[in-house]
Amino acid sequence: MATIYALSTPAGKSAVAVVRLSGPFSRPVLRKLIRSELPEPRVASLRKLYWPGVGAGDRRMIDHALTLVNVGPSSFTGEDTVEFHTHGSRAVLGSLLGAIEAAGVLCAAEAGTLHPVRYAEAGEFTRRAFLNGKMDLTQAEALGEVLDAETEVQLQASVGAAADGRTARMYNDWRQRIVDVSATLAAVIDFSEDGDFDESSGSLMEMALNDTRGLREEIGRHLSRLRRSEIVLGGIRTVLLGPPNAGKSSLLNALASRDAAIVSAVPGTTRDFLEVGLDIAGYRVVLTDTAGLRRDMGSSAHDELERIGVERARLKGAEADLVVVVVPADAANLAAVRAELDALAGAKPSQQVVVALNKIDMVAPDALDAVVAATAGQLGVAPTAVFPISCLRFEGIDTLTEGLAATFRAFSVDDHGAFDPISASARVQGLLEHEVLAALARAETEGRRSGDVVVVSEELRAAADGIGRITGDAVGVEEMLGVVFSRFCVGK
């Protein structure tokens, strides 16, 4: 197997850069780049790096590098590896990568082989770790999620159960239980061959089908939890709705901490929706500002544009995970806003609603509680879901942010009410739904309909194979590895 090398940190000017090698020629390449003894394994050592093949009198030095050697199988990839921690200038990196290539040519000549050292492909270091048994496929995909994480919550989900192997153990446990059910059915087949297919074999079949149903329900709950977590990890779609001039654009700017939307005292300033990606309390949020909701529009071209904006606002509201209703504290009648909310009801079962009661600077402090209660009553929400704010004075924004975070948290709670988002790729979710759960459902249905042990056993085998494809233990798994590891950067 060829030795691979790559830059593992982003290209460009930086204080420190990391170049790594993995494979049998890692240490021979290192010998050609230094003029001293090899570092002890697992001991970071400072070494001067030179261009290979230069005589002792020629001091063509590349850089000083903190050098780390790991001997396989006790390394990330399971192979001999070398890491260079150098200065991150383009000149240093260009020279070092060229020196490694030149050293590889010399190693090839000495070993009498062709191209023993080459630049790595995307994800090839992690792929080798998987092939050498250093991690399973769920852990490899979790590592990819870590690299893609943009918020604290995404990071927690990525480095959680999948990264430490708990998810793989759960999948393997399911697979073993499916095998156990198959063993029970094998006993049914034995009974039938002996001519003893009586009440005992019938009881075994019923036991196997009950176990199959239990597995299907357990895996189904896991899949549902993955989908709930997707809302949090993929970006919570949050839409600002409310009447014109309520302060929706001002609130978006306050939450974004910048002037993302145009703010004007003229009603109807926002005619189309504006989306901004935010990190709110560690959650990835796609926040959408929309046109003010109202029904009293005329027939002019200006009104036609506003009508289109209102319709788009309603569509965005129907698609949202969370609707933030922005209303002014001095509004006397919110019946029209209530009608809009009632129209959204049922559009998305998991949708949540909170109210931002803006312009509280226009309300006497001793009257605020009454205004909050009246607003909650008119809009049909709990008073605890109403957050008094003033975008003008930036009052209450922190409290609203905390309330939003609490609502986001509710999107991903486990069966015991604890917040514990989990992550899995679309590949894993597809296999769980379309291969594992579907096969278990067919097994149970066919078993109860006809009692055909052979057909039920075949469906159970398909379910077990589906789980094996998730963890990378299935026969023929090579075809999916390119898809999984192509998502990684070259140096990983």
SS (H, E, C) the chain: CCEEEEECCCCCCEEEEEEEEECCCHHHHHHHHCCCCCCCCCCCEEEEEECCCCCCCCCCEEEEEEEEEECCCCCCCCCCEEEEEEEECHHHHHHHHHHHHHHHHHHHHHHCCCCCEEECCCCHHHHHHHHCCCCCHHHHHHHHHHHHCCCHHHHHHHCCCCCCCHHHHHHHHHHHHHHHHHHHHHHHHHHHHCCCCCHHHHHHHHHHHHHHHHHHHHHHHHHHHHHHHHHHHHCEEEEEECCCCCCHHHHHHHHHCCCCCCCCCCCCCCCCCEEEEEEECCEEEEEEECCCCCCCCCCCHHHHHHHHHHHHHHHHHHHCCEEEEEEECCCCCCHHHHHHHHHHCCCCCCCEEEEEEECHHHCCHHHHHHHHHHHHHHHCCCHHHEEECECCCCECHHHHHHHHHHHHHHCCECCCCCECCCCCCHHHHHHHHHHHHHHHHHHHHHHHHCCCHHHHHHHHHHHHHHHHHHHCCCCCCHHHHHHHHCCCCCCC
The average confidence (pLDDT) of the chain is 82
Share of the chain above pLDDT 70, in %: 82
At 17 the pLDDT is 94
Q: Are residues 90 and 15 in the same domain?
A: yes
CATH number at residue 459: 3.40.50.300
The answer as to whether 482 is a domain residue is no
Lowest mean pLDDT among 206-210, 234-238, 308-312: 308-312
pLDDT of residue 330: 86
Please write the tens of the pLDDT for every residue from 436-452.
Answer: 999 999 999 988 888 88
Same domain as 467, residue 345: yes
Q: What average pLDDT does the segment 373-398 reach?
A: 92
183 in the same domain as 156: yes
Same domain, 467 and 323: yes
- Is residue 460 in some structural domain? yes
The more confident residue out of 149 and 248 is 248
- If one compares 385 and 151, the residue with the highest pLDDT of the two is 385
Q: Which of 46-55, 305-314, 472-481 is predicted most confidently?
A: 46-55
Q: Are residues 236 and 328 in the same domain?
A: yes
Q: Is residue 196 part of a domain?
A: yes
Same domain, 372 and 231: yes
Mean pLDDT, residues 162-179: 82
pLDDT confidence of residue 301: 47
Categorize the per-residue pLDDT at 485 as very low, low, confident or very high, splitting at 50, 70 and 90: low
Host domain of residue 332: 137-471
**Same domain membership, residue 144 and residue 79:** no
- pTM, entire model: 0.65
Which of 135, 160, 177 corresponds to the end of one domain? 135
pLDDT at 144 over 60: yes
Q: Are residues 18 and 33 in the same domain?
A: yes
In a domain, 168, yes or no: yes
Residue 71 resides in a domain: yes
Query: Would residue 263 count as lying in a domain?
Result: yes
Residues 398 and 259 in one domain: yes
Q: Are residues 159 and 19 in the same domain?
A: no
pLDDT tens-digit series, residues 330-348: 887 888 888 888 888 767 7
Same domain, 232 and 130: no
- Are 178 and 37 members of one domain? no
Q: Residue 256: what pLDDT? A: 82
How many domains, the chain?
A: 2
Which residue, 97, 116, 135, sits at the end of a domain?
Answer: 135
Q: The domain that contains 67 carries what CATH number? A: 3.30.1360.120
310 vs 250: which has the higher pLDDT: 250
Note whether residue 488 is domain-resident.
no
Domain-embedded: residue 476:
no
